[in-house]
Amino acid sequence: MRLHDHAALSHALQENDEVQLVFVFDPLILNKLTDKQDRRVTFIMESLQDMESTLQKRGASILIRYGNPVEEIPKLARELGVEKVYANRDYEPYAKKRDAEVQKQLANLDITFKQYKDSVMFEQHEIRNGSGLVYKVFTPYKNKWLEVLRAQDDVVPDYKMNATKIAKLVNKKNVLDHDWHKEIGFVATPAVLTGGTSLALKRLKEFSIPMARYHETRDIPALDGTSNLSPYIRHGCLSVRDMIRAGLEQRNDGAKIWLSEVIWRDFYHMILDTHPYVEKSSFKPDYDQIKWRGKDEWFVAWCQGETGYPIVDAAMRCLNQTGMMHNRLRMVVASFLCKTLLIDWRQGERYFAEKLLDFDLAANSGGWQWSSSTGCDAQPYFRIFNPYNQSEKFDGEGEFIKAWIPELGHLDKSDIHSPSPMLAPDYPRPIVIYEKMRAEALDMYGVVKK
């Protein structure tokens, strides 16, 4: 969703006299979105509009289609009489199957299909241990990742564009002049962040100053201490190389930690690519034996932000209203769901998949399995976040809680993390007792073969 530093587009422009840009709305993906006011669809529209505005200044346009890409791409390639189709590799199981079928259909038309590494810095075959196997633990993976980067003198490719080769075409059904929301059955619903490369690059540049303190501020949800770039990297408005270059420009603790977060992203994409079953199953198969004991009504309360645990409820209400959630809070609410409410991590993962503006299958599955201790390099099952301690440690003054739970706005920091019914009569009582549920969680996980 960008016109800069784009591997497939750059190669296409270098190797051909004319290149046509295409975007396909895929009903096989969109039909799974039950909320027709899904913010991600609007974010994508805004990103397309941003590109289209730039292209139209050059007399060009993006061709847009709605339909199964396996049918639409070969059909369009035939109509345009192209010789080659270029795309970047996608590591999700559905995408790999889809792209293989597209390649097959194009081959039947004698059209070449070329794919490139773009959405990650290093693919799974590039980062291997001494035995030639993929890593299953993050820290040695990160060390190897950095070693490979140093071996290329910290040079991060920047794919250049010869925009004069983009086809001079006026697309009458472009996203500036046509209501594509209506065409595909959705309602325009802007998010707290507007899609598009222009804003993404601006936000990345502005983050260069606070990045130096990222290691100190990243865990405090009431502070503006993170970049909020995850929706932009998820939807391709930025390249992963944009992020890495920004991290390498600074030699300080904040930049090092921020770069580690980018490496975590590569790690989870590698895990999904090499172990596709993690989409629906635990990385550690033994943990699929767990008999989750939680109640349906507890899950509903968690989704609605009505558990009686302020830090959990504030995080969930923020998610429901904005599509955003601070990374520290993702860990807190995930641990709470699995290890305090004893509910299967897959239920939480699916709920996040419906709500997150930056939803990414690899990162979402990896994060949930880390928190629930069912994944690779996960926290030990007996490590259980105490929601009260997490609240006091990372929202000590209760600023984040007050922002999202107005019925607790009058409380001071000594009462807000565990409010009494007398002081907060309009706020729900805790649906479970943490200490009791912690003991149950240890018992529930303890039956799993280690």
Residues with catalytic annotation? 261, 264, 292, 327, 345, 368
CA 268 to centroid of chain Cα atoms: 11
Q: How many residues does the chain have?
A: 450
- DSSP letter string over 18-86? -B-EEEEE-HHHHTT---TT-HHHHHHHHHHHHHHHHHHTTT--EEEEES-HHHHHHHHHHHHT-SEEE
Query: Alpha-carbon distance 320 to 342, whole Å?
Result: 22
Structure tokens at 251: 């030699």
Whether the Cβ atoms of residue 262 and residue 122 lie closer than 8 Å to each other = no
Sequence-ordered list of residues with C-beta below 8 angstroms from that of 52, at least 6 positions apart, any chain: 61, 62, 174, 175, 176
Encode 154-193 in three state secondary structure.
CCCCCCCCCHHHECCCCCCCCCCCCCHHHHHCCCCCCCCC
The neighbour count for residue 305, using CB atoms within 10 Å, is 22
Are residues 2 and 238 in contact, defined by beta-carbon separation less than 8 angstroms? yes
Q: What is the spatial distance between Cα 143 and Cα 223, in angstroms, rounded to a whole number? A: 30
Q: Which H/E stretch holds residue 112?
A: strand 112-116
Whether 431 and 298 have beta carbons less than 8 Å apart is answered as: yes
Can you tell me the distance from the alpha carbon of 370 to that of 22, in angstroms, rounded to the nearest whole number?
A: 37
Alpha-carbon distances of 69 from 82, 94, 99, 207, 439, rounded to whole Å: 16, 12, 9, 36, 50
Three-class secondary structure of residue 115 per DSSP: strand
Closest CA to 318 of 190, 187, 188, 191: 191
Count CB neighbours of 289 within 10 A.
Answer: 10
How many whole angstroms separate alpha carbon 312 and alpha carbon 371? 14
